A and B are shown apart, each in its own frame.
Chain A
Amino acid sequence: MTNFREIAWQGLWKNNPGLVQLLGLCPLLAVTATITNALGLGLATLLVLIGSNVLVSLVRDFVPKEIRIPVFVMIIAALVTAVQLLINAYAYGLYLSLGIFLPLIVTNCVIIGRAEAFASRNSLISSAFDGLMMGLGFTSVLVVLGTVRELLGQGTLFYGAEQLLGPWAESLTIQVWQVDTPFLLAMLPPGAFIAMGLLIALKNVIDRKLAERQPKIETATVTRARITKVN
Chain B
Amino acid sequence: MAFKIASSPHVSRNLHTATVMQRVILCLLPGLVVQCVFFGWGTLIQVMLAIAVALGSEAAVMKLRRRNPAAALGDNSAMLTAVLLGVAIPPLAPWWLIVIGTVFAIVIVKQLYGGLGHNLFNPAMAAYVLLLISYPVQMTSWVAPSTVAQQAPDLLASLQAIFGSLASSELKLYSLGIDGVSMATPLDTLKTDLALGLTSSESLSKPIFDGSTGVGWFWVNLAYLAGGLVLLKLKAIRWQISTGILVALFVCASVGWMLGPDNHASPLLHLFSGATMLAAFFIATDPVTAATSNRGRFLFGALIGMLVYFIRTFGGYPDAFAFAVLLANLCAPFIDYYVRPRTYGHRAGS
Contact = CB atoms under 8 A, between A and B. Distances in A.
A223 interface: no
B134 A183 contact: yes
A181 B108 contact: no
Contacts, number: 16
A188 interface: yes
A137 B130 CA distance: 31
Contacts of A188: 133
Instruction: Identify whether the interface residues of A are mostly helix, strand, loop, or mixed.
Output: helix
A15 to B, nearest CB: 25
B134 A184 contact: yes
Contact of B137 (A181, A186, A194): A181
A186 B104 CA distance: 13
A181 B138 contact: yes
A181 B137 CA distance: 9
Nearest to A187: B134
A82 interface: no
Contacts of A185: 130, 133-134
Interface residues of A, number: 8
Contacts of B130: 185
B163 interface: no
B334 interface: no
Interface string B101-112: 000000010000
B135 interface: yes
A184 B136 CA distance: 9
B108, B130, B134, B136: most-surrounded residue (chain A CB, <10 A): B134
A84 B135 CA distance: 36
Contacts of B136: 184
Interface in A15-64: none
Interface string A176-201: 00000101111010100010000000
A33 to B, nearest CB: 14
Given A185-B134, A188-B133, 6 more contacts: A181-B138, A183-B134, A184-B133, A184-B135, A185-B130, A194-B108
Interface of A: 181, 183-186, 188, 190, 194
9 contacts: A181-B135, A181-B137, A184-B133, A184-B135, A184-B136, A185-B133, A185-B134, A186-B134, A190-B133
Interface of B: 108, 130, 133-138
In order of increasing CB-CB distance, the 4 nearest A-B pairs are A185-B134, A184-B134, A183-B134, A185-B130
